[in-house]
Chains A and B, each alone.
Chain A
């Protein structure tokens, strides 16, 4: 009787925590929608709603790799890139064939997730054999490779179908009426703007459902056991490769979904160092580390805060990025320094102790 009560209690705790997480998202959504409808939200904020969703999904998906799987990935933006380009290509090609934006976008999301997952498997198989910093460097390498390759892809469409080239637009050999869809480094222009805040929040919730359920499932526990002690896990017969690959692929697929949102939010999509290179991967990593490795709710909040921060600092113009860098360093030291954490514990502990005495 007691044992089952204990188990029930534990289940309730995780369920409670999950519900709180979903609750925060839904509550935020409702509050924001109310404010938007009341006209209280600035254009800047309205424009930032979808990017916030994008980076939240990215942060959650990276936390799956870094926090749950325990491996440092510096190439996560590459999966976002794959998702973005594959879905944009699909959307533009199907503009006439599927005029209903909702259905077309739905398929675009599936396609983006699929190709990103594929990329995840292709990258994961060699990468997951390595460990630690070597794995990190290889993920960075893959991220850069993906970006560089996409920059030399030329795809055009004319009456006779799709043409493909890696040299330049002329080599596509299309008729005059053909249009170039992916113009090498100039990317894709004219993607329909299908991303909305509502869809973004729905995707965040779906991401949360997938990740939180994975964490609290048998597979999740197996993955975490691999993270905590690889040798012990191996010795009790857990198929390490399978679980590592599973986590990595799911993480990549989710990043691909974020990429779909990204590409359907801007009419000019290019793969630059800034948005799909290691700079971006590192930015997402900052969200994850700041929010707490393994802490899904934390990375959500960090993603929102750090996406808003440079925009809120626009008043400072030339000093903006400088202040951002300083805030980042200060936040990191404040949150992670063992000495400061001790100081905080003692201070708060002292306060609580005093309160209890009083």
Chain B
């Protein structure tokens, strides 16, 4: 390329960059090309008109990348809730506009997503879905005093600042609860653990379980980890559990890996009692999964898609109609998060023309004054430090269905 051409091109690129700096900012109400019926859309305004008289709720989570299932589930659950609320008249008479941004489960991208939402004019944040991005975004949102309710970020630090609240259990909570349940019900004395050491959720629960186990008379005979890069072959971990004589294998992991572990254990002819936490929810709905492999698996979960109560049934049916698959607890968390915001917003009587900081101050107080009957807990109440006070329900999978224990 001729030198003058090169210089011209560099100049052109520089100008384009400068232009994009200013152009791509102020209030980009991304009118997304809502892709296909099944694919997730970035923004759903329901029947809303943007601008005056509507609340802007932002969402952040992974909708691409290996953890996309969780982000998409939360996004869809929240969307469903927002549609219902909007059809019902909105919050305090104002419609809700929803904008979900992808963070690819990466802390840097999550902060970019947060900034994009700030440009859009977000007043409240339902996010993030995963823990590490939640902590990173939390530092920003607490600086900006924007209300943040994470549906599924379970690390303790996700609710660290005053403006942060959480819908799901915290990891230490579940770890301790699991150990207590196993101990009190005398399920086993020799327990093996298989956990994901590269995942905040899994390690958090594991650590707490380990420290609570001795108090419950549980002996940890095998404690093996795997990493996100190496999460398909569990023969070694299962072999060690088997060789150590474990009667129960604790799996504080997500359902995709659990499905593999169950299949491999069966192949080996190893049939211990499997016990997991809320990450296991969704196991039965993996496409083409042989549910007989999950027979007798016990888990602590706040949500059961086949529960018979009206709220759950309505949610599951509507979700299935709209998205073609059964919702898991991530979707339920997203749904509950929006309804929690609604309750808090109505209690604090906020209006759509208030700025984000004022809304945050109001919600910070009102969150501790409400009680929500949600999919993931009855009578959920929040304390000042952002934690919900719900107790996990223990269920057992019998005949491919959750049954209470």
Contact = CB atoms under 8 A, between A and B. Distances in A.
A and B: bona fide binding partners: yes
B105 A274 contact: yes
Contacts of A183: 203
B65 A274 contact: yes
Interface string B26-47: 1010111101000111100000
Interface string A270-314: 101111010000000000000000000100010011001001101
Contacts of A273: 228-229
Interface in B109-131: 111-116, 118-119
Contacts of A102: none
Contact of B13 (A47, A274, A305, A345): A305
A40 B35 CA distance: 32
B317 interface: no
Interface of B: 1-2, 5, 10, 13-14, 17-18, 20-22, 24-26, 28, 30-33, 35, 39-42, 63-65, 100-102, 104-108, 111-116, 118-119, 132-133, 135-136, 138-139, 155, 157, 197-200, 203-204, 206-207, 210-211, 227-229
Contacts of A319: 33, 35
Contacts of B200: 185-186, 270
Nearest to A319: B35
Contacts of A193: 139
A41 B25 contact: yes
Interface in A234-293: 262, 265-270, 272-275, 277
Contact of B115 (A47, A184, A185): A47
A185 B201 CA distance: 11
A46 interface: yes
A219 to B, nearest CB: 28
B2 A348 contact: yes
B138 A316 contact: no
B115 A316 contact: no
A266 B108 contact: yes
A308 B20 contact: yes
Contact of B107 (A40, A269, A348): A269
Contacts, number: 171
B27 to A, nearest CB: 9
Nearest to A183: B203
A28 interface: yes
B3 to A, nearest CB: 11
A348 B1 contact: yes
Closest 5 CB pairs of A and B: A42-B25, A317-B42, A267-B139, A47-B115, A268-B135
B44 to A, nearest CB: 11
Contact of A301 (B10, B119, B136, B197): B10
B5 A348 contact: yes
Given A311-B116, A318-B35, A44 B2 contact: no
Given A45-B24, A51-B108, A315-B28, A151 B197 contact: yes
Given A151-B227, A274-B105, A314 B30 contact: yes
A25 to B, nearest CB: 11
Given A170-B210, A301-B13, A315-B28, A40 B106 contact: no
19 contacts: A28-B17, A35-B21, A44-B25, A44-B119, A48-B115, A151-B198, A170-B210, A185-B198, A185-B203, A277-B229, A305-B13, A312-B20, A314-B42, A314-B113, A315-B32, A317-B40, A318-B40, A319-B33, A320-B64
Interface string A6-38: 000000000000000000100010011001000
Contacts of A152: 197
Contacts of B132: 186-187, 268, 270, 272
Interface centre among A31, A148, A183, A268 (most CB of B within 10 A): A268
A308 B17 contact: yes
Contacts of A270: 107, 132, 200
B24 A189 contact: no
A267 B135 contact: yes
B207 A169 contact: yes
A301 B11 CA distance: 11
A184 B107 contact: no
Contacts of A131: none
A312 B28 CA distance: 11
A148 B227 CA distance: 9
A126 to B, nearest CB: 23
A275 B133 contact: no
Given A305-B13, A317-B32, A348-B1, A40 B22 contact: yes
